[in-house]
Amino acid sequence: SYSERSSFTSSSEESANRELFSNALTSFFFIIHRLSVKNIIILFLFSGGSGVDADTPVYDDGILKTTISYTGDEPEKVWVQYNIFRQDGMFSSTQIGNTFSFVETLTKGNTLSECPVELESGEYKIFIYISTFEENPKRLAGYIRTIQIA
């Protein structure tokens, strides 16, 4: 009869809808899980969670000086890279030179990294990256600092 077919179709559609909902829910939680892991990785990379931290650089007589704190027990040879951008306006900036790279040996406590560069008065964003010193370097930490030069 018609009512039996109608109820069979409803049951079949209901089953399909449940499966569709279940698949959508599984996909949703998978995406949320992936985003959470990605966010944790990003936070780790930019939080200095590796036992390395960099203070805000100070510009003095043509040299950008940054104190790097290291909590490791063994000295570690690292690359310290600076990307320097002068802030020209709210949405405009100009990179100063190319990437400045230096090799430093971090020991427990503070190490002073010096980057000789000529900077004019203004506001600058300094991107500081600290990576292992090896053929395929691994980033230990990354920082963005803002300085003002009078």
CA 58 vs. chain centroid, Å, equals 22
Answer yes or no: are the C-beta atoms of 83 and 49 closer than 8 Å.
no
Is 144's pLDDT higher than 60? Answer: yes
Q: What's the whole-number mean pLDDT along residues 89-101? A: 90
Residue 10 pLDDT: 53
The model carries a pTM of 0.64
Is 137's pLDDT higher than 60? Answer: yes
Nearest to 139 by CA among 147, 131, 148: 131
CA angle 58, 62, 65 (to 5 degrees): 30
Residue 143 pLDDT: 94
Answer yes or no: are the C-beta atoms of 77 and 70 closer than 8 Å.
no
Res. 90 pLDDT band, cuts 50 70 90? confident
